[in-house]
A = this chain, B = another copy of it.
Amino acid sequence: MQPEISDQIFYSFLTGGLCASSTSSTTTSLFSPFAIEDKVDEDKALASLRNHKEAERKRRERINFHLNKLRNLLSCNSKTDKATLLAKVVQRVKELKQQTLEITDETLPSETDEISVLNFEDCSNDDGRRIIFKVSFCCEDRPDLLQDLMETLKYLQMETLFADMTTVGGRTRNVLVVAADKEHHGVQSVNFLQNALKSLLERSSKSVMMGHGGGGEERLKRRRALDHIIMV
């Protein structure tokens, strides 16, 4: 909203911006019987304005303090202007969020068991003679897990092309790209793979149950112990 005329006069009046003669000429109150009352009101208003001014200064300081912190975090020059800085912060937060999401969702083991089998038929680059599957599962780790997995794939007559395997704190995530000959396999082999993995994971949870009798609790204890030792 545009400041009104009265606001401008009020502003000049209260801030004492105008010189004494000007003030006395505009305020005829000195000769009125309400002169003292007016003076008190004037003082009150002045004090209020001073407080307001100070509070606003503090507020600006607070904001700029955090802006400077962000400047340091993004190793930005102190000459980077506020808008640009904030744009960079937005971008950085987005990047970091995406990065951690990718790692925790696609690489690190999750807390819950998962199985995923995808068909990459269109993606095969050996003249379409083979079907390519991307297999991914997440479960409790156990000593014979990998051996069982290899035997399962061998039994299904599938060849492992790539394998990313992550075992952290007793849980494991494995992402494999496997190839299957079209002589023996079709798209329906996705189901074979899925069922095979399911029984693999069932064996996992059984072995954990029998081995410790605590399951998740025991694992958490183990993880904490490991974290402790590593952190020292």
Which A residues have a C-beta under 8 Å from some C-beta of B? 2-5, 7-8, 11-12, 15, 17-19, 59, 62-63, 66-67, 69-70, 73-74, 82-83, 86-87, 89-90, 92-94, 96-97, 99-100, 103-104, 106-108, 120, 123, 132, 134, 162-169, 175, 177, 222, 225-226, 229-230, 232
* Complex partner residue of A167 from B7, B15, B62, B163, CB under 8 angstroms: B163
CB distance from A221 to the nearest CB of B (A): 12
CB pair B73–A97 under 8 Å, yes or no, is yes
B108→A107 contact, CB < 8 A: yes
Residue of B nearest to A97 (CB): B96
- Contact status B120-A93, CB under 8 Å: no
Tell whether, in the assembled complex, residue A168 and residue B107 are in contact, meaning their CB atoms are under 8 Å apart. yes
Q: How far is the CB of A98 from chain B (nearest CB, A)?
A: 10
Across the interface, name the chain B residue whose C-beta is closest to A162.
B226
**Given contacts A8-B12, A164-B167, A164-B226, are A73 and B90 in contact (CB under 8 A)?**
yes
Neighbouring B residues of A99 by C-beta, 8 Å: 100
Q: Select which of B86, B93, B167 is within 8 A of A63 by beta carbon.
A: B86
Given known A-B contacts A12-B8, A96-B100, A164 and B175 have beta carbons under 8 A apart: no
B132 close to A229 (CB less than 8 A): yes
B contact residues around A11 at 8 Å (CB): 8
By the criterion CB–CB under 8 Å, are A229 and B100 in contact? no
Alpha-carbon distance A123/B228, docked complex (angstroms)? 10
Closest approach, in angstroms, between the C-beta of A176 and any C-beta of chain B?
A: 10
| Given A19-B5, A93-B92, A226-B164, CB of A86 within 8 Å of CB of B108 | no
Query: Please, which residues of chain B bring their CB within 8 A of the CB of A97?
Result: 73, 96
Q: Which residues of B contact A74 (CB under 8 A)?
A: 93
Q: Is the CB of A232 within 8 A of B17?
A: no
A-B contact pairs, 29 of them (CB 8 A): A5-B17, A8-B15, A8-B18, A62-B83, A63-B86, A66-B89, A66-B90, A69-B86, A70-B89, A70-B90, A73-B90, A73-B93, A73-B94, A73-B97, A74-B93, A89-B93, A93-B96, A99-B100, A103-B108, A120-B232, A132-B229, A134-B229, A164-B169, A164-B226, A165-B165, A165-B166, A166-B168, A177-B226, A177-B230
